[in-house]
Amino acid sequence: MAGEDLDRWTQQMRKGSAKLAILQLASERERYGYEIVAEVRDRTKGALQLAEGNIYPALHGLEAEGFIASQWREVEPGVPPRKYYKLTARGRELHERMVEEWKEYAGAVGRLLKGGS
Amino acid sequence: MKLSAEGQAWLNATVQRVMARHHVAEAERAGLHYELMSHLHGAGEEKARSAGRDEVSMGDLQAGLLDMGGEEAMAQAFVAPRAKPPKRADIVKRAIAYLIDLVIVFLAWMAVAAIIDITLSVLLLPFGGTFGGFDPFDVFGSPFKGRGFIPAGFGLVFVVILGYFTWTEGKAGASLGKRIFKLKVVRVDGTPIGYREALIRNVTKVFPPLAFLDALFILVFFRAEQQRASDRLAETVVVEE
């Protein structure tokens, strides 16, 4: 029972951080879909795993809202083209504010867990 | 990183199979296709890189697909969320499309019949044949009437109607009448139909009263699926694009 509850809670937490993860990676440099999945997995040592089916809808959503912009690019002849994503000015602003919020939130939860003194 | 020719062919075929598992709107197909190709290639590239090779092989791509859980899982992840349960076609539109189709076949058949009639008349002239045997209102028998060539000429129009529907729907999923209303025949699972399904579902259309009875099944038995009896038999549905 506890396991199920924990799973659900973890899932919700990860879902919330997926958007931040995408914005973070795209803020560093242009990224393509698979690269984002692989990079998030590697950097967090597997703790954060973007579901393959969620990444593209998330990217499309962010693009439709004007936070990221994309461009199909030919990589090499004979190799499927890749869609590269980068932050727009609006996306940059959102990213910065999300990072601030996250730090504040993480700090607050940390203080909470440490207990009152 | 380069991709082997074998890998390229496999990638293309695999992505097409994955996409065919669900019905995706025409407008979204191209983008999704590119996305799948790119993603699966990315997965294969990672395999090749970690093995220290500089070309992505078919094996790398297959290993990448396996990591994602195989074709079914990939279709579930990528294609299913984008798939829309196709909207069943309106029965009135279907009926009007059918009538339009009958008019088209009727006119085409008249033209063909006239050509056959005139040709035969000319050919038979030296043997005592005559012009003017063509009766435009006797669609069933006119080209061969009274000549004894094909006493069963009557049945030819049935073959023409069935041939028309089987050909147009088997080839592109829609007769000309259906095209006007943007209707399409698909398998129950949303994938395109072939000539076999087209033949089965169109047999009753050669004889309008029979087609009417067949269509009654939509109202009486298969309301939810909006299937005629022969749609049921062919496992097809008509959807709006």
Question: What chain B residue is nearest to A51 in terms of C-alpha separation?
Answer: B77
For residue B149, pLDDT over 60 is answered with no
Give the confidence band of B153 by pLDDT, cuts at 50, 70, 90: very low
Name which of A43, A37, A80, A39 is nearest A58 in CA terms.
Answer: A37
Q: In which band, very low, low, confident or very high, does the pLDDT at B84 lie, cut at 50, 70 and 90? A: confident
Residue B35 has its nearest CB partner, among A33, A35, A38, at A33
Q: How many domains, in total, are found in chain A? A: 1
How far apart (Å, rounded) are the C-alpha atoms in residues A42 and A32?
15
End-to-end alpha carbon distance in chain B: 39
Tell me how close the Cα of A38 comes to any Cα of chain B, in angstroms: 9
Q: Predicted confidence band at B129 (pLDDT cuts at 50, 70, 90)?
A: low
Q: How many residues belong to chain B?
A: 241
Q: What is the model's pLDDT at position B140?
A: 46
- Cβ atoms < 10 Å from Cβ of A108: 10
Mean pLDDT for A24-43 is 93
pLDDT at A17: 82
Digit-coded pLDDT (tens) for B61-75: 999 999 888 998 888
Tokens of B148: 């004894």
Q: Does B201 have pLDDT greater than 60?
A: yes
pLDDT in the model for residue B130? 56
Shortest distance between the Cα of A71 and any Cα of chain B, in A, equals 12
Question: What pLDDT is recorded for position B141?
Answer: 46
Structure tokens at B133: 């045997």
pLDDT for the residue B139: 44
Please say if the pLDDT value at position B108 is more than 90: no
- Mean pLDDT over residues B6-21, rounded? 92
> What is the C-alpha to C-alpha distance for residues B114 and B142, in angstroms, rounded to an integer?
8
Q: Please give the residue that has the higher pLDDT: either A49 or A117.
A: A49
Nearest CA in chain B to A35: B42
Q: How confident is the model over A49-70, as a mean pLDDT?
A: 88
The average confidence (pLDDT) of chain B is 85
pLDDT category at B150 given cuts 50, 70, 90 is: very low
B217 CA to centre of own chain: 22
B78 confidence band (pLDDT: 50, 70, 90): confident
- The DSSP result for B162-194, as a single string, is HHHHHHHHHHHS--HHHHHTTEEEEETTSPBP-
Give the structural domain span for A52: 2-114
Q: For residue B166, what pLDDT band results from cuts at 50, 70 and 90? A: very high
Q: What is the mean pLDDT of residues B207-226?
A: 91
How far apart are the CA of A116 and the nearest CA of chain B, in angstroms? Answer: 45
pLDDT in tens, B17-58: 999 888 787 788 888 898 899 999 999 999 999 999 999 999
What distance in Å separates the CA atoms of residue B204 and residue B154, rounded to the nearest whole number? 17
The predicted model gives A56-79 an average pLDDT of: 90
Closest residue to B2, CB basis, from A52, A57, A76:
A76
Structure confidence at residue B128 (pLDDT):
62
Does residue A28 surpass a pLDDT of 80?
yes
pLDDT, residue B190, reads: 77
| C-alpha of B183 from chain center | 11
* Cross-chain residue pair B3–A79, CB shorter than 8 Å: yes
A90 pLDDT more than 70: yes
Q: Check A34 against B42: CB less than 8 A apart.
A: yes
Asked if residue A26 lies in contact with residue A86, where contact means CB atoms within 8 angstroms, the answer is yes
By a Cβ cutoff of 8 Å, what residues of chain A touch chain B? 32-35, 38, 51-53, 56-57, 72, 76, 78-83
Which tops the pLDDT comparison, B25 or B129?
B25
What mean pLDDT comes out for the span B100-122?
82
pLDDT on residue A99:
95
For residue A76, what is the domain's CATH number?
1.10.10.10
Interface contact A83-B38, CB threshold 8 A? yes
Inter-chain CB proximity A53 and B80 less than 8 Å: yes
pLDDT at B172: 93
**Of A57, A72, A80, Cβ closest to residue B41:** A80
Instruction: Write the CB contacts of B85 (distance below 8 Å, at least 6 apart in sequence).
Output: B23
Q: What are phi and psi of B69, to 5 degrees?
A: 100, 15
Angle between helices A33-43 and A2-28 (to 10 degrees): 120
Average pLDDT, chain A: 89
Per-residue pLDDT at A4: 86
Which of B173 and B144 is assigned the larger pLDDT?
B173
Distance of CA B129 to the CA centre of its chain: 43
